[in-house]
Structure 1
C-alpha cells in the first residue's frame, strides 16, 4: 500500500515539482497543482480518465460534490491503489498540470 511518503517521493522525483501546503494539506505543484492529500489516505490527482477509473473501480477512485466542477480531478484511496498505478497516475497528473516552464497544461 502506497503511503503519503511514497506520493511525496514520486512527485518530487519529477522535474521542477515543488511541495507546499494547500488548504492545510501537503500538495505538489508543477506549473499548477498536480496532487494533494485530500484527507489522510486519500490523494487528489488530475486525470483525463476520471469517469473510466471510477466506473471500473469505485472503491479506489471517486469524487465528492466539491469536485463536480473540476472534471479532471479524481480522489484515490491509497490503500487500494497499486504502487505502479500510483506512479502512472502521478505522471499523467504532472503532464496535465503542465511541467514547470510550460505555457499550458
Structure 2
C-alpha cells in the first residue's frame, strides 16, 4: 500500500522534480505537471497505458468524465498499489511530463 508520503519521496527523488500546490492539492512537476493528489488516497499520473490499466484493474485505475479530454491521465487508488508499482508509474509520468533523465 502506497501513501501520499511515499508519492512525495519517490517523486522528489526524480531529477528536476519540484512540489507545489495545484488546485489546493500537493502536485509534482517536471517540465510540466507529472502527478497530483486528486482526492484523499487518489493520485493522478500520466501514462501511455490508461486504457490497459483501467481495463485490467478498474478497482485500482480509473478516470472521471473530467479526465476524458486528457487521455494520458489516470487516477490511481494508492491503497491498492505497492511501492514498486508506484515508482514505475512515477517514472513513466516523469518521462511524459518532460522530466530530465538521470
TM, length-normalised to structure 2:
0.96
1:42 is matched with 42
Which ranges of 4 or more aligned residues in structure 1 deviate by more than 3 Å?
A: none
Tell me, in whole angstroms, the C-alpha distance in 2 between the residues paired with 1:74 and 1:84.
17
**Is the aligned partner of 1:52 residue 2:52?**
yes
Q: TM-score, normalised by structure 1?
A: 0.94
2:22 match: 22
Q: Does residue 1:83 correspond to 2:94, yes or no? A: no
Q: Aligned to 1:31, what secondary structure does the other structure show?
A: coil
SS of corresponding position for 2:10: helix
Unmatched 5+ residue regions in structure 2?
A: none
Residue 9 of structure 2 corresponds to which residue in structure 1?
A: 9
Q: Provide Cα deviations, 1:8-66, integer angstroms capped at 9, x if missing partner.
A: 00000001100000000000000000000000000000000000000000000000000
CA distance in 2, matches of 1:78, 1:29: 19
Name the CA distance, whole Å, in 1 between partners of 2:57 and 2:2: 17
Q: Which runs of 5+ in 1 are unaligned?
A: 101-105
Work out the CA distance in 1 between the residues paired with 2:87 and 2:99.
16
Q: May I ask how many residue pairs the two structures share in their alignment?
A: 100
Counterpart in the other structure of 1:103: none
Indicate yes or no: 2:33 matched with 1:33: yes
Provide the alpha-carbon RMSD of the alignment: 0.6
